Structure 1
Amino acid sequence: MALRFMEERIDFAAAFRWAARLGWQTGICNHFSWMVDDQHILINPRGLFWSEITASNLVLLDGDDNIIEGGDEVEETAFFVHVPTHRMNPAAKIILHAHTPHATALACIKDGELKWCSQDALKFYGKVVYDREFNGSVLDATEGERIARKLGNHQIMFMAHHGVSVVGQDIAHALNDFYLLEDFCRVQILAQSSGQELAIIPDAEIDRIMSMPSGHDPQVAPHFAAIKRVLDREEPEYRN
């Protein structure tokens, strides 16, 4: 019997494989999920490296949050955070959560936040929320719902002492945003490590830039296509 959402499964598996190449995975922990329609959610199975993910071993949950295809188990913390976030925030079609080194370093600094010192950072201006409340691992629905409410309509959430989540409408944009976010966090951490004062872009200039029509980012689709070309050549089994 053919698996459902095979095109989405292939793209999602590609995202996991590429994130593994970028060094984003932490053992077998951390989770990406995709609400592929009004009811169904794809998520990575418990116990696999991201570098082992294939289209067919991704778990599919139904509208009652039962596993109906793919792997046979989902890690608890993924279930309790991702599922309520998808259900409570319809715009959050994609949720990417990882403990990437530079974004997580920023989340571990007291009152750490993005500083608007680079044109690249402005992509996220007005789209970031900081969850300063740390309650340890999420092992019940109540904490997951709190996190979902905190996220609201934001695109990026830094989670104190923890990591970062990126949400989006499709996998190509969400993965591209996570890539740019982690890269900017790296630049900011490097700049701060100099001990020199950061050169913050003036508010008036930020307002001027943000008032410009943004339109569709023409780099996103070619970026994701390039990722899949490399994987098709070097790790074609991700499509299985």
Structure 2
Amino acid sequence: MSTSRPRRTPDEERLHRRQRLAATLRIFADRGFDEGSGGHVTARDPIRTDHFWVNPFGVHFGHVRVSDLLLVDHEGAVVSGAGTVNPAGYAIHSQVHARHPDVVAVAHTHSLYGRAWAALGRPLDPITQDACAFFERHEVFEEYTGVVLDTDEGKRIADRLTGNIALVLRNHGLLTIGASVEETAWWFASMDRSCQVQLLAEAAGRPRLIDADAARSARGTIGTPAIARLNFRPLYADIVRRQPDLLD
């Protein structure tokens, strides 16, 4: 199975990103990553590159369709779609997209295990092969000051993402980025599961760490964008088969 990225026209790429974004929200709902009206996932528009698509504020992840997604400009105004934007989502995502032009998608939700791990204020340890994907590629953002409504804090979050694919937002949750929606979604799902595994392992005893060289070797195999996209494919195929209305 090829992991290369096909060439698409700008309009084809726009549809591709919107479909994967809607599917990601459905997948996140299935995994219990939603929490009331909290949580947001964005995808940069490939045509108007200073704009991004986002889930509408107050709509359950499990109900979002392609046609429900909002196109938002760099000032937070909705230029396509009906609905409003989560203010915290705009404060964070707008700054990440502006600071990192190579980032296509950003995911942040209040997932259960992500929040539990974030309360510890520690980076994940390389205790499993899957966790090695994040070895030396994520940090803890320590500055919890309340709900993120200020773009200045969004800028600080964006700065800490340089060289990383994820952050543990202390006392808040997880945030992942990627050069495609598929990568970003997979990193989030895998990171949340890695948080769960480490919480379970530490509850049972003292986990044995993978040494740094072996962790880097594993990261070079399972921590690549191509493998992230590959791992997303069965999730996408499954959710579209079970919930085809998401493509409406």
Q: What's the TM-score, normalizing by structure 1?
A: 0.88
Structure 1 residue 231 and structure 2 residue 239: aligned?
yes
Alignment of 1:39-54 (within 5 A): 39-54=50-65
Alignment of 1:17-166 (within 5 A): 17-37=26-46, 38-109=49-120, 111-166=121-176
Residue 191 to residue 26, structure 1, CA distance change in 2 (3 Å) = same
Structure 1 residue 206 and structure 2 residue 215: aligned?
yes
Say which is worse superposed, 211-220 or 72-81, in terms of deviation.
211-220
Contact 1:95 1:166 in 2 (8 A): yes
Determine which structure has more spread, i.e. the larger CA radius of gyration: 1
Q: How many Å separate the matches in 2 of 1:117 and 1:233?
A: 34
Deviation digits for residues 192-229 of structure 1, max 9, x if unmatched?
001x22211223433555677976645733x4333333
Correspondence for 1:197 among 206, 209, 225: 206
Deviation digits for residues 82-116 of structure 1, max 9, x if unmatched?
1011001122211000121122211101x422111
Residue 178 to residue 212, structure 1, CA distance change in 2 (3 Å) = closer
Q: How big is the shift at 1:63?
A: 4.7
Structure 1 regions of 5+ residues with no counterpart? none
Q: How many Å separate the matches in 1 of 2:225 and 2:83?
A: 38
Contact 1:89 1:153 in 2 (8 A): no
Q: 2:6 corresponds to which residue?
A: none
Contact 2:123 2:139 in 1 (8 A): no
Q: What's the TM-score, normalizing by structure 2?
A: 0.86
Q: How big is the shift at 1:125?
A: 1.3
SS at match of 2:125: coil
Aligned alpha-carbon RMSD (Å): 2.4
Q: How many Å separate the matches in 2 of 1:219 and 1:77?
A: 27
Give the aligned length.
Answer: 235
SS at match of 1:136: coil
Greater share of residues in helix: 2
Structure 2 regions of 5+ residues with no counterpart? 1-10
SS at match of 2:98: helix
Q: How big is the shift at 1:230?
A: 2.7
Q: How many Å separate the matches in 2 of 1:214 and 1:80?
A: 28
Contact 2:177 2:183 in 1 (8 A): no
Structure 1 residue 178 and structure 2 residue 188: aligned?
yes
> What is the letter of the counterpart of residue 17 of structure 2?
E
Deviation digits for residues 114-148 of structure 1, max 9, x if unmatched?
11121211111121011111110112222221221
Deviation digits for residues 65-84 of structure 1, max 9, x if unmatched?
43111123101111111101
- Sequence identity percentage: 23
Q: How many Å separate the matches in 1 of 2:126 and 2:20?
A: 32
Q: 2:7 corresponds to which residue?
A: none
